[in-house]
Structure 1
């Protein structure tokens, strides 16, 4: 099981991620894409990454607006897995 991060580690991790914020025991980011097909393209790419690392975000799709929410449920909070996946999600969003 992954080790839970301390409040200090979480703050430092968020300091390296643009657009992400803590929400309880999760971190989240909302991104507005150019259009619905582009938003779904991002969701599909994030799904591939999530499957490859066996760590899955909650994703809310509202037309072209996507909200990603990350938490390591098996650990009961935030871990390295969440911040690593957040970086990869940022990369996908930046690439479109």
Structure 2
């Protein structure tokens, strides 16, 4: 069963609780800067674990001292859903432990 897309107002409301996240090109996006490449890699692994736990996966990019995400729901024809906001909230909560800004 497909997940229901959020309205623009629901997306905006959800982003109000997710500092640093934005809605662009039909996806929730966020970039993080970390103190080292190792810290960025560790954060990437942490995010991968969260995604597996939620069974919801983003486009996740590891750079030198950076991690970026782009999140949308495939079974909602690529729209943003509550699953995306839940994933973003979990990543946001995990970020401080890795020194991510």
TM-score higher than 0.5: yes
- Structure 1 distance, partners of 2:9, 2:16, is 11
- Structure 1 distance, partners of 2:14, 2:42, is 26
The TM-score, its normalising length taken from structure 2, stands at 0.91
Query: Residues 55-66 of structure 1 correspond to what in structure 2 (within 5 A)?
Result: 55-66=56-67
Say whether residues 1:20 and 2:18 are aligned partners: no
1:47 deviates by 0.5
Say whether residues 1:4 and 2:10 are aligned partners: no
1:51 deviates by 0.7
The TM-score, its normalising length taken from structure 1, stands at 0.95
Q: CA RMSD in A?
A: 0.8
1:59 deviates by 1.0
Partner of 1:82: 84
How many aligned residue pairs are there? 96
Gaps of 5+ in 1: none
- Structure 2 distance, partners of 1:94, 1:71, is 23
Query: Residues 39-54 of structure 1 correspond to what in structure 2 (within 5 A)?
Result: 39-54=40-55
Runs of 4+ residues over 4 Å off in structure 1: none
